[in-house]
Amino acid sequence: MSGDRNNETRYLLEEQVGFLLRKANQRHRLIFSTEVDNEIAPAQFSVLAKLHEVGAVSQNQLGRLIALDSATVKGVVERLLAAGYVHRERSPDDARLRIIQLTDEGRITVERLLPVAERITELTLAPLSEQEAKTLVRLLSTISL
C-alpha cells in the first residue's frame, strides 16, 4: 500500500455517524440494563413514561408519540400487559381503537423508575462536560428530523 494517499477519501468506519450512533446506543443500553437491573426494557420504559405523561391513548397514537412502528408497539404493549403494568380496552367511540393506560402497579413502577431514568441519562453523558452534553442533545435533536 505504498501509494496510499491519506488526503484521499479513505473510508473509516469508525468515523461514520451511523457507526457511532450504533455504538453510543450500545453503551446507553448497557447503562440502562445495569441501572434498572433488567427489571424492564428500554422501549417498555418509554411506553410507561409516555402513558404516565399523557394518560390513556390508542396504540397507534402511542406509537406516534414515542416514534415506534405500530408493529413494534404491539409487541411492547403485549409484554407490558403480561407484566401487569398496562391495561387495554376497546374504545366505546371508535371500534377500531384499543385504548392503553397504566394500571396502578404500572403507575407505581414508573414513578419509582423515573429517578433511575434520569440517572441513566446522567451516566450516559458523564464523559462530557455540562456544555458538551447540552450541545449533543441539541445536535441529536436536529438530525432526528
Partner DNA sequence: GCTCGCTCACTTGTGTACCAGTGATCGGAT
Partner DNA sequence: ATCCGATCACTGGTACACAAGTGAGCGAGC
Which residues here bind DNA, judged by CB under 7 A? 22, 26, 29-30, 33, 41-44, 58-61, 67-72, 74-77, 79, 93-98
Select from DNA, a second copy, none the partner in contact with residue 72, using the beta carbon and a kind-dependent cut-off of 5 to 8 Å.
DNA
Amino acid at 76: V
Q: Is 125 near a second copy (CB under 8 A)?
A: yes
In angstroms, the CA 110 to CA 16 distance is 36
Residue 24 contact partner, candidates DNA, a second copy, none, CB within 5 to 8 A by sort of partner: a second copy
Q: How far is CA 45 from CA 12, 18, 57, 82, 115, in A?
A: 35, 24, 16, 14, 12
Q: Draw the binding track, 50-89, toward a second copy (x: CB under 8 A; -: no contact).
A: x--x------------xx----------------------
> What residues form DSSP beta bridges with 86?
102
The 98-102 sheet, strands edge to edge: 57-58, 98-102, 86-90
Closer residue to DNA in complex, CB, 4/109: 109
Is 128 a binding residue for a second copy by CB under 8 A? The answer is yes
Residue closer to DNA, measured from CB, 41 or 114: 41
41: closest CA among 2, 95, 87, 78?
78
Q: Are 120 and 35 in contact (CB under 8 A)?
A: yes
- β strands within the chain, DSSP E: 57-58, 86-90, 98-102
36 touches a second copy (CB under 8 A): no
In whole angstroms, what is the distance from residue 53 CA to residue 4 CA?
A: 56
What is the smallest separation between the CB atom of 87 and a second copy, expressed in angstroms? Answer: 20
Residues near a second copy, by CB under 8 A? 9, 11, 13, 15-28, 32, 42, 46, 49-50, 53, 66-67, 114-115, 117-118, 120-121, 124-125, 127-128, 132, 135-137, 139-145
